[in-house]
A and B are shown apart, each in its own frame.
Chain A
Amino acid sequence: MTEQIDAGMVARRIAESDRLGSPDPSREIGRARRRKEDARLITGRTLWTDDIQLPGMLYVAFLRSPMAHARIARVDTSAARTQPGVVAVYSGRDFAGEQGNLPCAWPVSEDIVIPDHPPMAVEEVRYVGEAVACVVATDRYKAADALEAIEVDYEPLEPVLDMTEALAEGSPKVHEAGNRAFTWKFSGGDVEAAFRDAPVLIERTYVQQRLIPTAMEPRAVVATTDGTAFTLYSSTQIPHVLRVMLALTTGIPEHLLRVVAPDVGGGFGSKLQVTAEEVLCLLLTRRIGKPVKWTESRSEGNLTAHHGRDQLQRIALAAERDGRIRGMRADLLADMGAYLMLVTPGIPILGAFMYNGIYKMDAYDFTCTGVFTTKMPTDAYRGAGRPEATFAIERAVDELAHELGMDPVELRRRNWITHQEFPYTTIAGLTYDSGNYEAATDRALALFGYDKLRAEQADRRDRRDPVQLGIGVSTYTEMCGLAPSRVLGSLSYGAGGWEHAAVRLLPTGKVEVVTGTSPHGQGHETAWSQIAADAMGVPFEDVSVLHGDTTVAPRGMDTYGSRSLVIGGVAVLQACEKVKEKARKLAAHMLEASPEDIEFSGGTFTVRGTSAGKTIQELALAAFAAHDLPEGFEPRLDAEVTFDPQNFSFPHGTHLCAVEVDTETGLTKIRSYVAVDDVGTVVNPLIVEGQVHGGIAQGIGQALFEEAVHDAEGNLLTTTMTDYLIPSAADLPEFVTDRTETPATSNVLGAKGVGEAGTIAATPAVVNAVVDALRPYGVRDVRMPCSPERIWRAIGESGGAAAGWAGPTESEGGER
């Protein structure tokens, strides 16, 4: 999307005060710039996909399966077709020859089963919400009405809802090939030896509940054609990947398909997808010849925008009595849902290299089995595999500390990689390039007032206070910057992990940056402007950033996996350097000097030792005029770079959470939360802090509030925001954040990525705190989300009828 800045209204009057650090005032990088994006967002002049109106536009609505598993016996669309304003009604069968299958780009193993996945079901439905038919009508109200006139006969089949049961002999099958999608194994070191005669063994099973990502903007798609070429607007994180995939899926030639991501209202992975609705809107506009629009309702989105997490983790830690970890085993069941979508099977595999966390150990073993169930497919959700891994290791390490009677921070110190040991190749085979866990932890402990809170905790325990205090520790790292293409290839991913940037110096000295990243709230327009302004020596205001349209920015790998800055931002920087090299030649020519004698500073090229110079703006005009250029010099100052990283980056940090648990009701209140993150070099501290805040909120959401719940028939019960609980301002505390800064050595910016850090760190910090509060009652785990009832039951089941009130009875002890 092109910038739509109304500079007059916004830029004024706001002091560029820096809340975090005081960088070199002459540099843009490190400065807390207020965002360029805000101007349109705070005035309602944003362009969301649903805002797009095209002449003659028609509206699409989907009829969705009310059954988790059924054969479609009959679809009768005749009555719906005669309703006023209805242009067309189609069932899956009407598109059977044309719609193909939704793609899975990550066949993780040789034996993987990738079932057919028609965008509209033809023979069988396998989750509640699967599209069965669609209406195209002259407005959205008429389209919704006509859905009710479509008749569908279903022959019910057995739903498959529980992963363990799904793998058991005789289970009903989601697909003919069975319910096992794949098994993926990884091993490092001698695991048998590590566990043999281990003095301490911690074995736990953790449930990563199913989550609904819930970007605030519901998905929307607009598709249009002139009869030859097609344009698809979608609320997507991945316009570039989408274009390739849609071309492959629909047969529309790639060069005749333009994909545009207008302003996108959040994604968190949920818009990293090739959706049935995108494919079908393209097919509908092709068939009908008019522009079509589909916008999901929230309840439709809760059903059919892909879900996240949903893993069963069996974890084992072997350790010495002094706390040294010998080895770890992780054995997962990962719920794929009914089909494999774009990167569904790869999500748990992204976690495979992270179960060892920041710790040194001799051996590690990982197994993941992907399981089909009759539920909405899972796929990327903020962190994607890494939050699950971090949760498991950070919870297990706390359990080990408790088992040994050791402070959980001290146990971590005994096991983590010390700052002198970087670069360090872990037991999972990754090379962590840099980090300083000691520094981040010490800073966090100081901000938190750790010792004082421990004293208060002891006092409350002594007093048997009905409100108990718990302290949770989470020292995380993650692999960011997805990803070196060769690594992705070795993991059987269907594409590379490079990123592209183009930088164009315009005749008047302004700079256009074209990026292949596709922001949806991250502030790339601002951060990329800062990078380019520094590199080119031009004012921040003189840079514009173009993105999110495959015509404007034709090459890219888009935005997910905390990759944009560490790959896309680096590409921008490198493209600026290339432009400068050209400009240097031109300056040398104009100044009648050798290029080696030209120095660049503050936007001006000067001849070393003289005051003779040319500004970059003068050079821009000279290149445009082209009257007097060096021999063979093309009359333009622009450059393109495609950057493929050599390694991941590894942000880390220490998050500390104090909770007060009301043992009489089970209610948890977060009393304080401290996060000290090390995300390497920071381009914009304001944006980094914002990412950490939002990430923590979502991590807390998983720990305390959020869960997609199905009934015994496979109906999703949490279809609305009344039932799927998103925390509001009143449900969250102020977060205290700070940073340490250990630059990444794997890229020239030194940046590590921050988009997922908070989410990865926060969930175990909160749950560790809850369990810590309940230790006096013998509680050693509470399943997420740690709802008041689960906490009350955990206390009751451990025999500690809290504070005199009767505990739960056996009669109704169902897991909730």
Chain B
Amino acid sequence: MIPAAFDYVRPASLEEACHVLATSGEEAKVLAGGQSLLPLLRLRLAYPSVLVDLGRLPDLHGVQDRGDHVFIGALTTHDEVMRSPVIREHVPLVALATATVADPAVRHRGTFGGSLAHADPAGDLPAVALALDCVFVTRMTGGQREIPAADFFVDYLESALEAGEVLVGVKVPKLGAGWGFHYEKFHRTAQAWAVVGVAAAVRTEGGAIAEARIGLTNMGSTPVRAPAVEAALRGAPSAAPNGNGSSNGAHDPVRDACGEAADDTSPPADLHATSDYRRHLARVLTYRAVRAASA
């Protein structure tokens, strides 16, 4: 299919971009890599009046090691994120999850910031950002602000970004020593969206889980954390009771903890899964993610 007509602006600077977005009204839309937006335009599920193409703005691009965190420019492509030595070393969960996004050609064009700003709860990166307590750095005419991940995802396909506000990049805190990471994605075909995904960061200490952070993909209208699991995991022995992670055999406190993964979630029901099944998957996949992250 074919997109409806729109105007197109390619601002030369971030200031100009903010200005254009601020003065173009509600129907203006930011174009980054376009890998989510273009299909929506082609199916005529979106009718923007103007697309503001940020693709050429150099200051939104790249990965920086900033001591206690890694700063990922919003326009850094998924492909660049996956390959970035800085990301792989200091915030590997981001690289792990990004490697599961779509397919190679899409990852060449799609951007880290674009995926997050799209605020699709089925996307793989929002749950990661939430689990890692990332901070979203934005700019608008005459100002800037920092939005914690917990406040960024407002509703289905709705972020905290306001009209005229541009996502510049994301601060991803380094978690330091002792942490392990895993992103467990469950989907029906390789390029399909996650039915459910689980982003897990687990710190072990002296044979026990000291701290855990769990972000869930596609378990609500926004990505969600699993605070009950995080609390229940604290102090649980990090090794599986019968050594192989199998679900049979001896009592497993980690397993019990992960049984709470779907608590207080409102997962969607759609073509690929009922809510009930998603809740079940959340529990099973959280267990697997935690086991993998603490292995």
Give residues in A with beta carbon < 8 Å to B: 140-141, 144-145, 148, 297, 299-300, 464-466, 664-665, 667, 705, 709, 717-718, 720, 722-723, 725-728, 730-731, 787-789, 792-793, 803-806, 808-809, 811-812, 814, 816
Task: Give the secondary structure class of B's interface.
Answer: loop
Using known A-B contacts A722-B192, A789-B277, determine if residue A140 contacts B247 with beta carbons closer than 8 Å: no
Determine the chain A residues whose CB is within 8 A of the CB of B247 once the complex forms: 466, 664, 803-805
Determine the chain B residues whose CB is within 8 A of the CB of A787 once the complex forms: 188, 272
- Taking a contact as CB atoms under 8 Å apart, the answer to whether B280 and A806 are in contact is yes
A464 to B248, CA, bound (A): 8
A811 to B191, CA, bound (A): 31
- Taking a contact as CB atoms under 8 Å apart, the answer to whether A141 and B2 are in contact is yes
In the complex, given contacts A466-B246, A793-B277, A812-B276, what are 14 additional A-B residue pairs having Cβ atoms less than 8 angstroms apart?
A140-B2, A464-B248, A466-B248, A665-B285, A728-B191, A788-B195, A803-B248, A804-B247, A804-B255, A805-B284, A806-B280, A809-B276, A812-B275, A814-B274
- Taking a contact as CB atoms under 8 Å apart, the answer to whether B280 and A808 are in contact is yes
Between B273, B277, B285, the greatest number of chain A beta carbons within 10 A of the residue's beta carbon is seen for B277
- Taking a contact as CB atoms under 8 Å apart, the answer to whether A725 and B5 are in contact is no
| Closest-CB distance, B261 to chain A (whole angstroms) | 11
- Taking a contact as CB atoms under 8 Å apart, the answer to whether A730 and B275 are in contact is no
A145 to B47, CA, bound (A): 12
Determine the chain B residues whose CB is within 8 A of the CB of A299 once the complex forms: 1, 43
Question: Is B181 in the interface zone, CB < 8 Å from A?
Answer: no
| Closest-CB distance, A663 to chain B (whole angstroms) | 9
Determine the chain B residues whose CB is within 8 A of the CB of A792 once the complex forms: 277, 280
Using known A-B contacts A297-B1, A717-B271, A804-B247, determine if residue A727 contacts B189 with beta carbons closer than 8 Å: yes
Question: Residue on B with the closest CB to A814?
Answer: B274
Determine the chain B residues whose CB is within 8 A of the CB of A793 once the complex forms: 277
- Taking a contact as CB atoms under 8 Å apart, the answer to whether B188 and A788 are in contact is yes
Instruction: Identify which of residues 273-295 in chain B touch chain A, using a CB-to-CB cut-off of 8 Å.
Output: 273-277, 280-281, 283-285
| Closest-CB distance, A277 to chain B (whole angstroms) | 16
- Taking a contact as CB atoms under 8 Å apart, the answer to whether A728 and B190 are in contact is yes
Question: Is B193 in the interface zone, CB < 8 Å from A?
Answer: yes
17 A-B pairs (CB sep. < 8 Å)? A144-B2, A145-B5, A466-B247, A664-B284, A705-B188, A723-B271, A731-B189, A731-B190, A789-B277, A803-B247, A803-B248, A804-B247, A804-B248, A811-B276, A812-B274, A812-B276, A816-B277
| Closest-CB distance, A811 to chain B (whole angstroms) | 7
- Taking a contact as CB atoms under 8 Å apart, the answer to whether B192 and A808 are in contact is no
Determine the chain B residues whose CB is within 8 A of the CB of A297 once the complex forms: 1-2, 42
Question: Residue on A with the closest CB to B196?
Answer: A665
Question: Is B4 in the interface zone, CB < 8 Å from A?
Answer: yes
- Taking a contact as CB atoms under 8 Å apart, the answer to whether A789 and B186 are in contact is no
- Taking a contact as CB atoms under 8 Å apart, the answer to whether A816 and B274 are in contact is yes
Determine the chain A residues whose CB is within 8 A of the CB of B2 once the complex forms: 140-141, 144, 297
Out of B4, B246, B274, which one reaches A145, CB within 8 Å? B4
- Taking a contact as CB atoms under 8 Å apart, the answer to whether B273 and A789 are in contact is yes
Determine the chain B residues whose CB is within 8 A of the CB of A709 once the complex forms: 271
Question: Residue on A with the closest CB to B246?
Answer: A466
Out of B189, B255, B275, which one reaches A728, CB within 8 Å? B189
Using known A-B contacts A299-B43, A665-B284, A809-B276, determine if residue A725 contacts B188 with beta carbons closer than 8 Å: yes
A655 to B106, CA, bound (A): 36
Determine the chain A residues whose CB is within 8 A of the CB of B285 once the complex forms: 665
Determine the chain B residues whose CB is within 8 A of the CB of A730 once the complex forms: 189-191
Using known A-B contacts A466-B247, A728-B191, A808-B277, determine if residue A718 contacts B1 with beta carbons closer than 8 Å: no
Interface readout for B190-205 with A: 1 if CB under 8 Å, 0 if not?
1111010000000000
Determine the chain A residues whose CB is within 8 A of the CB of B188 once the complex forms: 705, 725, 787-788
Determine the chain B residues whose CB is within 8 A of the CB of A720 once the complex forms: 43
Determine the chain B residues whose CB is within 8 A of the CB of A789 once the complex forms: 272-274, 277
A299 to B43, CA, bound (A): 8
A425 to B292, CA, bound (A): 59
Question: Residue on A with the closest CB to B4?
Answer: A145
